[in-house]
Amino acid sequence: MRIAQVSPLIESVPPQLYGGTERVIAYLSDELVRLGHDVTLFASGDSQTRATLYPAWPTALRLAGECQDPLAPQLLMLERVFQLADRFDLIHFHVAEFHFSMARRLGVPHLTTLHGRLDLPEIRPLYEEFAEKFLEHTLTIAAAMVINLVAAALAGTLIPLGLQWLKIDPAVSSTVFLTTVTDVVGFLAFLGLAATFLL
C-alpha cells in the first residue's frame, strides 16, 4: 500500500528533544515500511526515517528559530501533499485541523490522528462543520477499542490460568503473551474495521 504520513514541521521525526506526536509518527512510519508498505513521510528535512522522506522544510521549525511564521511552511507542505495525493492509496494526517477544508474535497482515502486537546470550546464549531467524516472514523476507532478491551480481558484471565495449569509462574510469563495478544488484536481490529467501513 502507498501511504503518506503528514507530520507537523515543528519538530523533526523522530524529535531531537520533546515531541510525542513526532515520535508516534516515527514509530508508525518505520513499522509500516518494515511491513512492506511504500511510505512517504512529509516532514522537516532533518528527519530520519526508513520511509521516503519528502522534506517539506529544511529543518524543524522550533529548534531552527529563524522562522517568523510557522503556519506558512505548514500550509505549503499541505499544498504539496494535495498536489501529489493521487500517488497514494491512503494519506494519514497528523497536523491538527489544518487540512480539514482541503481534505473534504480529496478523492483519496485519508484519516486524521488528532494528537492535541479535543475539549476546547473554540474547536467544537469546527468539528461540527466537518462531522460527516469524524463520525465514521470515530465509530471505527471506538469499535476497535471495544474489541481490543474484550480481547485484553479474556487474555488477561485465560493466559495466567493456562500458565498456572502448566506450572509456569504467570507473574513472570504472562505479560509477553498478553501484550502480543492485545497488540495483534488491536491492530487487526482497527485495520479490519477501517478496510470494511472506510475504504
pLDDT tens per residue across span 13-52 = 999 888 888 999 999 999 999 999 999 999 999 999 999 9
Place of cell 511504500: 38
Determine phi and psi for 39, rounding to 5 degrees.
-110, 135
Distance of CA 84 to the CA centre of its chain: 20
Determine phi and psi for 72, rounding to 5 degrees.
-60, -50
pLDDT digits over 149-189, tens only?
A: 898 889 889 888 988 898 888 888 788 888 888 888 887 88
CB 6 within 8 A of CB 20: no
Determine phi and psi for 48, rounding to 5 degrees.
-125, 125
Determine phi and psi for 193, rounding to 5 degrees.
-65, -40
The percentage of the chain sitting over the pLDDT mark of 90, rounded to a whole number, equals 40
* 38: β partners: 2
Instruction: Please report the pLDDT score of residue 188 as a whole number.
Output: 84
Residue 99, classified by CB atoms within 10 Å of its CB into exposed (0-12), middle (13-18) or buried (19+), is buried
Report how far residue 21's alpha carbon sits from residue 190's, in angstroms, rounded to the nearest whole number: 20
Place of cell 507473574: 171
Report how far residue 17's alpha carbon sits from residue 77's, in angstroms, rounded to the nearest whole number: 23
